[in-house]
Structure 1
Amino acid sequence: MTDILNIVGGGMAGSEAAWQAARAGLRVRLHEMRPAVATFAHRTGDLAEMVCSNSFRSDDDERNAVGLLHWEMRAAGSLLMAMAERHRLPAGGALAVDRDAFSAAVTQAIRDEPLIEVVEGEVTALPRDGHWIIATGPLTGTALAASIAAEAGQDHLAFFDAIAPIVHADSIDMSAAWRQSRYDKGETEEERTAYINCPMDRDTYEAFIDAMLDADTAAFKDGEEGSATGATPFFDGCLPIEVMAARGRETLRHGPMKPVGLTNPHAPDAKPHAVVQLRRDNALGTLYNIVGFQTKMKYGAQAAVLRMIPGLEDARFARLGGIHRNTFINSPTLLDDRMRLRSRPNIRFAGQITGVEGYVESAAMGLLAGRMAAAEMTGTALPPVPQTTAMGALLMHITGGADARTFQPMNVNFGLFPPVDARGGRRGRAVRYKMYTDRAKADWSGWLEGTAAPLAAE
């Protein structure tokens, strides 16, 4: 075979796409601009670097859509899921990983695969010839983004994504904080104590909200939300914490700071008014990220506000929060049902740039793009992905299920799935979700049996 599949972007989607295509027998060139061209959000030149969080979210594959997506990816021999499992950290029911060890393992596996060549350097324009997957993610280079926009015949869409701060564990005051996963979730003691919790009473919470709303925030550029000319929206699944607070003083107490499912052993009879949770960020347990605390506060103001949290008065930060513009294309208009650019079908898109949101969703679309490219290039028939699966539901959303006029990034959720048969009376949510996952697993297993499945990652 002489044809080579070129993949632009070595993030979650590009790495998974390269792995799947190589395991199907294709030669792959994986183009990654880092470290030669840096971004503000990345710290290394490793592939599949985790930026916003170290969590792949819920691993419950029976009643949760993202957990189901984990299951489908594992069944399909996902490299990223295999490396995530290898470098898993205790996180209750979530799949959290040591982010540096995870990305290093993905990088090593890719570089050790003889059919994959990693090419360092920036691709600045959509190519005319050959087979390509564009998986450049939310931080697509300026020149390539302009080339995509020119080909699409419209301005590319955008929203803001934000990064949560990371704290050195030995700077947390454990006389005020305690270790506990919400509702004591987890099968082991380590999992049930995977989070550090910092409680707030009402007065502390109100002062915290006031300080946050008064804090200096990063300036916007022209054309961005908050500027004189812009109206680029935030993605609701990754809102800066001060934006949530501005929507109502109680918003955070019903979001990332909800005080439910937790008991403070320092004061077991006192119910906290709000709780800030920190999740372990590395295998050593020396770093913790503040869950849900993405922010656009300036660094000085941010550190001062965060040190108002009980237990974090003397916190040392390994990384403060930040914000960046996240680009994506209007996929329902531009892509066909095989993720190909309608105007140039030699080019596929995958990952966050297609309008899926989240590490897992991005990797899943990379998995499909890699398999679809491999099937096309080898002349292998590939049946349509069942819409009843998590993979198929996401694929349908970005290639025709969503209204192109109001298209926005989306996490996987059961609202994207065809309804289950609910005959026999009203069913509880847990029962319905189990029906979704049972149907999806059966249909995904059947789809895999009808394809030439790549070998699983070791």
Structure 2
Amino acid sequence: MTQSKVWVIGGGLAGTEAAWQVAQAGVPVVLSEMRPVRTSPAHHSEELAELVCSNSFGAMSSDRATGLLHEELRRLGSIIIGKADRYAVPAGGALAVDRAIFSRELTETLAAHPLIELRREEVTEIPRDSIVVLTTGPLTSPALAEDLQRFTGMDYFSFFDAASPIIVGESIDREIAFLASRYDKGEAAYLNCPMNKEQYLAFWEALRTAEQAPLKDFDREESKFFEGCLPIEELAQRGEETMRFGPLKPVGLFDPRWPTDANGKRKPPYAAVQLRQEDKAGQLWNLVGFQTNLRWGEQKRVFRLIPGLENAEFVRMGVMHRNTFINSPELLQPSLQFKQRPKLLAAGQLVGTEGYTAAAAGGWLAGTNAARLSLGLEPIVAPPTMMMGALIEFITSASPKHFQPMPPNFGIFSPLEMRIRSKAERYGAYRDRALTDLETWQISFADCAIK
């Protein structure tokens, strides 16, 4: 069986995992990492897989979204999770590591692998004559970003990003929120949470005085690019009425359940918060216009003041940081191959997944498929009933117009056959289904010596 060398560009968590999976399949791989030749404002060392924001990989329990992804990767032979388990430190219910030892051990392990060539260099163009995995993350070098833009023919999503929170649909009170489009034009595509004046003023005051998260130095430098997409708390600071003429504009919004006046008309609310469907199944809803830099605890406190969201379950909090990611629904297949160039794959934050564990999962799939392409085998796609599969399915099938990065969460899963009201029992059922389907899936692609 013929095989060709694979090239992985970027030595973060996704790139480290991808290169390891390629090499473990018996395929030679070049791993290019630009540090220390070119430094990054987010990194402090030259090690591979440096953890830059936290030393935690999230909840350990497999009936939690991130914990389930840990377990899937553990069973799939992930080097990232393997090293995390080995160098774990006490952190309550979270999988946290000694970050210095963790990164150093990964660097030494990969450098010692006979099939991995570790190059310290900046790659400025995507190699055209190799199987390539791009894992350059949110701080991709400008030259490589420009080359990727030329290849795709579309703009990067590269900006000072303030993303809106995403809420589980089942946690929204439908006795209060109503489905409608403005002036009843077109399909009723938005959930609307109406406010009276008293509720609006209480919300405005809470939002105006809520505590914001501090920015990193390099994010603060980029904040001048953000004027066209202001955070909701900034709008609140600009005046009592500003939000009512912006994202909370109530004009043309009516609940068909409301009584009519003598003329058969319904009076609009004083203000209205809109939520847009984020996934095909309608399990996730995005707070429209609520990009924010509030601390996460403050977001929960303040946004639960919105009528209908008193018991909101958040699957992703609003964030504000420099972010670079591609329009994966337009560009990628569920195998993480580019539609335009099947020998080019991508993973990690570059494709719109969030979190350390999600980066490792994307790296595992992209690396495995790069090795399979090198060995002349068909790429594989993870079942959507697995956390890995559900996450990759989301980033490759979401609305391209509204695409935003997504962390692991149970809201992206397809519904269970039977409705389970208890959240704990429902999450346990998701876990059991995922791990059963993982076992079946592993058997299905055991068609060669690489797994």
Is the contact made by 1:158 and 1:233 (CA closer than 8 Å) also made in structure 2? no
Is the contact made by 2:160 and 2:222 (CA closer than 8 Å) also made in structure 1? no
Whether 2:384 is the aligned partner of 1:387: answer: yes
Question: Which of these residues, 407, 429, 432, is aligned with residue 435 of structure 1?
Answer: 429
Partner of 1:231: 229
Q: Per-residue deviation at 1:223?
A: 6.8
C-alpha separation between the residues in 2 aligned to 1:221 and 1:346? 34
C-alpha separation between the residues in 2 aligned to 1:2 and 1:406? 39
Question: Which of these residues, 295, 308, 326, is aligned with residue 329 of structure 1?
Answer: 326
For residues 163-206 of structure 1, the C-alpha deviation after alignment (integer angstroms, 9 at most, x for no partner) is xxxxxxxxxxxxxxxxxxxxxxxxxxxxxxxxxxxxxxxxxxx9
For residues 365-393 of structure 1, the C-alpha deviation after alignment (integer angstroms, 9 at most, x for no partner) is 00000111111211234553211001110
Is the contact made by 1:356 and 1:410 (CA closer than 8 Å) also made in structure 2? yes
CA gap of 1:2–1:373, structure 2 versus 1, over 3 A, is closer
Q: Per-residue deviation at 1:363?
A: 0.9
In the alignment, residue 412 of structure 1 is paired with which amino acid? P
Is the contact made by 1:36 and 1:120 (CA closer than 8 Å) also made in structure 2? yes
Is the contact made by 1:383 and 1:447 (CA closer than 8 Å) also made in structure 2? no
C-alpha separation between the residues in 1 aligned to 2:155 and 2:161? 19
In the alignment, residue 434 of structure 2 is paired with which amino acid? A
State the SS of the aligned residue for 1:6.
Answer: strand
Matches within 5 A, 1:41-440: 41-61=42-62, 63-158=63-158, 160=160, 219-221=220-222, 224-226=225-227, 230-231=228-229, 243-244=293-294, 251=299, 325-400=322-397, 402-422=398-418, 426-440=420-434
Q: Per-residue deviation at 1:231?
A: 3.2
C-alpha separation between the residues in 2 aligned to 1:83 and 1:252? 33
Number of aligned residue pairs: 337
CA RMSD, Structure 1 to Structure 2 (Å): 3.6
Q: Per-residue deviation at 1:232?
A: 8.3
In the alignment, residue 244 of structure 1 is paired with which amino acid? L
Q: TM-score, normalised by structure 2?
A: 0.67
Deviates more, 1:124-133 or 1:65-74: 124-133
C-alpha separation between the residues in 1 aligned to 2:325 and 2:81? 24
CA gap of 1:64–1:254, structure 2 versus 1, over 3 A, is farther
CA gap of 1:90–1:159, structure 2 versus 1, over 3 A, is farther
In the alignment, residue 79 of structure 1 is paired with which amino acid? I
The answer for unaligned runs of 5 or more in structure 1 is 163-205, 256-293, 296-322
C-alpha separation between the residues in 2 aligned to 1:216 and 1:417? 33
C-alpha separation between the residues in 2 aligned to 1:431 and 1:134? 38
In the alignment, residue 117 of structure 2 is paired with which amino acid? E
CA gap of 1:90–1:403, structure 2 versus 1, over 3 A, is same
Q: Per-residue deviation at 1:449?
A: 2.1
For residues 397-431 of structure 1, the C-alpha deviation after alignment (integer angstroms, 9 at most, x for no partner) is 1222x1111000000111111111125xx530111
Q: Per-residue deviation at 1:108?
A: 1.1
Partner of 1:30: 31
CA gap of 1:124–1:383, structure 2 versus 1, over 3 A, is closer
For residues 325-366 of structure 1, the C-alpha deviation after alignment (integer angstroms, 9 at most, x for no partner) is 220000010112221112222211111100101111011000
State the SS of the aligned residue for 1:224.
Answer: helix
Partner of 2:15: 14
C-alpha separation between the residues in 2 aligned to 1:11 and 1:145? 17
Q: Per-residue deviation at 1:225?
A: 0.9
CA gap of 1:231–1:84, structure 2 versus 1, over 3 A, is same
In the alignment, residue 439 of structure 1 is paired with which amino acid? R
CA gap of 1:96–1:333, structure 2 versus 1, over 3 A, is same
CA gap of 1:216–1:12, structure 2 versus 1, over 3 A, is closer
C-alpha separation between the residues in 2 aligned to 1:250 and 1:433? 26
Is the contact made by 1:160 and 1:233 (CA closer than 8 Å) also made in structure 2? no
* Matched-pair identity in %: 42
Asked which structure has the greater CA Rg, the reply is 2
State the SS of the aligned residue for 1:119.
Answer: strand
Q: Per-residue deviation at 1:233?
A: 7.8
Is the contact made by 1:382 and 1:451 (CA closer than 8 Å) also made in structure 2? no
In the alignment, residue 67 of structure 2 is paired with which amino acid? G
CA gap of 1:210–1:105, structure 2 versus 1, over 3 A, is same
C-alpha separation between the residues in 1 aligned to 2:321 and 2:32? 22
C-alpha separation between the residues in 1 aligned to 2:147 and 2:11? 19
Is the contact made by 1:129 and 1:346 (CA closer than 8 Å) also made in structure 2? no
Is the contact made by 1:70 and 1:81 (CA closer than 8 Å) also made in structure 2? yes
In the alignment, residue 399 of structure 1 is paired with which amino acid? T
C-alpha separation between the residues in 2 aligned to 1:75 and 1:330? 30
Is the contact made by 1:11 and 1:48 (CA closer than 8 Å) also made in structure 2? yes
In the alignment, residue 410 of structure 2 is paired with which amino acid? F
For residues 106-149 of structure 1, the C-alpha deviation after alignment (integer angstroms, 9 at most, x for no partner) is 11111111111101101111222111000001110011111111
C-alpha separation between the residues in 1 aligned to 2:405 and 2:375? 32
C-alpha separation between the residues in 2 aligned to 1:42 and 1:216? 12
Whether 2:5 is the aligned partner of 1:4: answer: yes
In the alignment, residue 82 of structure 1 is paired with which amino acid? G
State the SS of the aligned residue for 1:244.
Answer: coil
Partner of 1:449: 443
